[in-house]
Amino acid sequence: MFCQKYLQAESILTIRIILLDEVFQPKGHLRILIPGENRGDCHKDLLSHSFSSDVKFGIKFSFFNFELYYCSEVLILPEILKMKVYKFGGASVKDSAGIRSLTKIASKEDGNLVIVVSAFGKTTNALEIVLKTWLAGDNKYKDHLENIYSYHSSVNDELFPSGNSARSNIDLSFSRLKEYLLSKRKSDYDFEYDQIVSYGEVWSTIIVAEFLKKSGLNAEWIDIRENLMTDDRYRDAEILWNESTNRIKNVFDFKRFPVYVTQGFIGGTIAGMTTTLGREGSDYTAAILANILDADEVVVWKDVPGILNADPKWLPDAQKLDEISYKEAVEMTFSGAKVIHPKTIKPLHNKSIPLHVRSFIVPDEEGTIVKADAALRKVLPVFIRKDDQILISLLPKDFSFVMGDNLSRIFHIFILHGIKVN
């Protein structure tokens, strides 16, 4: 028999443990095992070491970042696993092949995992067309919606040739949207946008979660609309951090499931209405969850090798940045770079959580790491191109110097009209 006292985990690699037992048996063998019941296996060998007969009880022995006092037989420790948040964008889950790749990537992760998924392919754009035609009173919205349904059904059938529960859940969700469009009196555009366009993420995550289960992962689907609480600023909602933290910590229980699948881009009000976090907001969702759940890392999987110094669509010679700081990332995003959502960095910076941008096409490549202590590198200019911009020049009638008070009044007018100034 033995007793154990777990002192502290200074980091994921440095753990100090005291093991109290009788004198260690001559030529004994110590094995430290970590329970792995969450993933179906009985135990995982963390390390093992054989001791000679001259080992005395109470003598500290250090190796592989572990400091131990000897015991006999086997010590079983609580499971110490890394927790990561993976975000997959629409391009990475546009078809069944993409979902299989997602599953392969997720299966390689040994620790706990939250997978944030965007809508399939161009589904968000397609739902925006549904919204536009519906608001215009044009019944062609039904045809557009049917095309979206056929697309999701096709992906689902390729993944599950013999049928599955995801199909019935998808059918039920589409039926709810159809009923909403038939019975709902049209409200303001931003409100209706969030109620309708948000379905894309719901459908994608239903299919992804079900395929992960089919592939042997112990995964659970979470409706983020019931847990990520926001205000009612539709299409650009602000997070209610206290309420969201309480709900998210309660529902993401890694003792029950090591893998969770949920939606990016969307949230919900206390009153139960759906909201969105702004276009391309799935990155922001991943950062919020990482902050609340104290993740070790966020990985954004994209169709590019990492963060480049320009958009390769118009600058073919764009180069990858291996490491950048949080500050550099913020400057790039707020200047118009579209690699990550502008709000993504702050929740990660607040808890020093690194952001890894990697390619789902070549998942073994390193990509780009965004962190506080990014290494100094040779100066590589970043080129940002912003299309469809409006330049407004303001000049005082008498050509006098524009004072700060006047500027504040001008910006206040823009805010009142919901206009964002770059």
| Whole-prediction pTM | 0.77
- Which 3 state secondary structure label does DSSP give 207? helix
User: What integer pLDDT is reported at residue 378 of this predicted model?
Assistant: 65
Contact between 206 and 173 under an 8 Å Cβ cutoff? The reply is yes
Dihedral pair phi/psi, residue 111, rounded to 5°? -90, -170
The Cα–Cα gap between 206 and 263 comes to 9
Cβ burial of 378 (10 Å; 0-12, 13-18, 19+) is exposed
The separation between CA 115 and the C-alpha centre of its own chain, rounded to angstroms, equals 6
Contact between 302 and 155 under an 8 Å Cβ cutoff? The reply is no
User: What integer pLDDT is reported at residue 25 of this predicted model?
Assistant: 38
The Cα–Cα gap between 298 and 116 comes to 10
Tokens of 333: 């995003």
The Cα–Cα gap between 214 and 273 comes to 32
User: What integer pLDDT is reported at residue 120 of this predicted model?
Assistant: 98
Contact between 298 and 85 under an 8 Å Cβ cutoff? The reply is yes
DSSP letter for 315, please: -
Tokens 């991943």, residue? Answer: 286
Q: Write the CA distances from 141 to 126, 146, 297, integer angstroms.
A: 10, 9, 41
DSSP 347-398: HHHHTT--EEEEESSSTTS--EEEETTPPP-----------S--------TT
Contact between 218 and 258 under an 8 Å Cβ cutoff? The reply is yes
Kind of pairing, strands 297-302 and 43-50?
Answer: unpaired
pLDDT tens, the chain, 422 aa long: 333 333 333 333 333 333 433 333 333 444 444 344 333 333 333 343 443 333 333 334 444 444 444 444 444 444 467 999 999 999 999 999 999 999 999 999 999 999 999 999 999 999 999 999 999 999 999 999 999 999 999 999 999 988 788 999 999 999 999 999 998 777 799 999 999 999 999 999 999 999 999 999 999 999 999 999 999 999 999 999 999 999 999 999 999 999 999 999 999 999 999 999 998 899 999 999 999 999 999 999 998 899 988 888 888 888 899 999 999 898 888 777 777 888 999 999 999 999 999 999 999 999 999 998 877 666 678 888 878 888 888 777 776 766 667 778 888 888 888 787 87
The domains found in the chain, sorted by start residue, are: 3-76 (no CATH), 83-302 (3.40.1160.10)
